[in-house]
């Protein structure tokens, strides 16, 4: 028969193991969704000329923010509304992207870095778009990298 002391030890061990598993849990939601988005963008067929951003985002979102190079991290957090991660950085070059997709005021996808390193790029014309905006993007391929470019034109 299991004594009360053993039950307590087992319960404490289970709590500790649970905390370790949570601490070692897989990527955060925004990282996970960035990987899914990357897969979607990279799988766009070569003959595709335009695409709706909603059609290739494998997660729900209602607002997307784009930040110009050198935007301070504090400004990113201010526009987003909260500090969702303490590891983001200011972009340090003209060629870098920093894009935040949100759903119900929570970050659901975060893109940071050079398109050459990420394997794709998304060029927003505006600093913010909503899911109700015209989300038609040109599909461009340069040196093996797929770029989605919102150049402000309306496609019908």
In a domain, residue 102? The reply is yes
Whole-angstrom Cα distance, residue 74 to residue 83?
9
In a domain, residue 22? The reply is no
116 band by pLDDT with thresholds 50, 70 and 90: very high
In a domain, residue 44? The reply is yes
Specify the length of the chain in residues.
Answer: 156
**Which domain, by its residues, includes 88?**
28-149
Task: Tell which wins on pLDDT, 140 or 91.
Answer: 140
Instruction: Identify the H or E element spanning 106.
Output: strand 106-113
In a domain, residue 154? The reply is no
In a domain, residue 156? The reply is no
13-33 in b/e form (b: 16+ CB < 10 A) is eeeeeeeeeeeeeeeebbeeb
Count the Cβ atoms, other than its own, within 10 Å of residue 66.
19
In a domain, residue 1? The reply is no
22 band by pLDDT with thresholds 50, 70 and 90: very low
In a domain, residue 92? The reply is yes
154 band by pLDDT with thresholds 50, 70 and 90: low
Instruction: Identify the H or E element spanning 100.
Output: strand 97-103
155 band by pLDDT with thresholds 50, 70 and 90: very low
Average pLDDT, the chain: 85
Q: For the whole model, what pTM was predicted?
A: 0.79
Tell me what pLDDT residue 84 has. 84
In a domain, residue 10? The reply is no
Mean per-residue pLDDT, 28-50: 92
Q: Please give the tally of structural domains in the chain.
A: 1
């Amino acid at each position: 028969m299991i004594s009360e002391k053993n039950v307590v030890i087992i319960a404490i061990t289970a709590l500790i193991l649970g905390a370790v598993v949570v601490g070692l849990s897989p990527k955060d939601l925004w990282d996970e969704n960035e990987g899914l988005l990357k897969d979607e963008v990279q799988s766009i067929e070569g003959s595709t000329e335009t695409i709706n951003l909603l059609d290739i985002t494998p997660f729900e979102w209602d607002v997307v923010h784009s930040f110009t190079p050198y935007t301070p991290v504090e400004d990113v957090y201010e526009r987003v509304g909260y500090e969702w991660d303490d590891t983001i950085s200011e972009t340090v070059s003209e060629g870098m992207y920093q894009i935040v997709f949100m759903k119900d005021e929570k970050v659901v996808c975060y893109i940071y870095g050079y398109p050459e390193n990420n394997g794709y790029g998304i060029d927003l014309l505006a600093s913010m778009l909503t899911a109700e905006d015209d989300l038609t993007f040109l599909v461009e391929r340069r040196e093996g990298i797929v770029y989605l470019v919102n150049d402000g034109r309306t496609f019908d």
